[in-house]
């Protein structure tokens, strides 16, 4: 569980989704695309917080893993 991107952040897939949401509006060359992208990022952050709380409560060994891997979502930030 602590190999690859999981030793840097506990939810690397969600971090990848945030990168995708940031990259999509420029690829589409649309200012309007920032609205759903921003909403998507908010949903991902909320989902990550809820998922992390559930894993801490229900998954044996997750609390120790969370102590070793401090970054929840964005390395160096959260």
Supply the range of the domain harboring residue 57.
4-68
The pLDDT score that the predictor gives to residue 1 is: 60
Tell me whether residue 29 is in a domain. yes
Tell me whether residue 74 is in a domain. no
Angle, to 10 degrees, between the axis of helix 12-28 and the axis of helix 34-58? Answer: 180
Tell me whether residue 76 is in a domain. no
The pLDDT score that the predictor gives to residue 25 is: 97
Tell me whether residue 37 is in a domain. yes
Tell me whether residue 75 is in a domain. no
Confidence of residue 47 (pLDDT cuts 50, 70, 90): very high
Tell me whether residue 73 is in a domain. no
Tell me whether residue 53 is in a domain. yes
Tell me whether residue 63 is in a domain. yes
Which of 20-24, 35-39, 59-63, 66-70 shows the lowest mean pLDDT across its residues?
66-70
For residues 30-35, average pLDDT: 96
Q: pLDDT for 9-28, tens place per residue?
A: 888 889 999 999 999 999 99
- The two three-digit tokens of residue 54, written as one number: 């559930």
- The two three-digit tokens of residue 6, written as one number: 């999981």
How many domains is the chain built from?
1
What distance in Å separates the CA atoms of residue 67 and residue 26, rounded to the nearest whole number?
36
């Amino acid at each position: 569980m602590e190999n690859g991107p999981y030793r840097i952040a506990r939810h690397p897939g969600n971090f990848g989704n945030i990168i995708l949401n940031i990259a999509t509006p420029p690829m589409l060359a649309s200012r309007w695309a920032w609205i759903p992208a921003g909403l998507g990022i908010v949903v991902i952050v909320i989902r990550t917080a809820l998922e992390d709380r559930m894993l801490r409560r229900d998954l044996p060994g997750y609390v120790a893993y969370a102590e070793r891997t401090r970054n929840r979502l964005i390395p160096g930030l959260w």
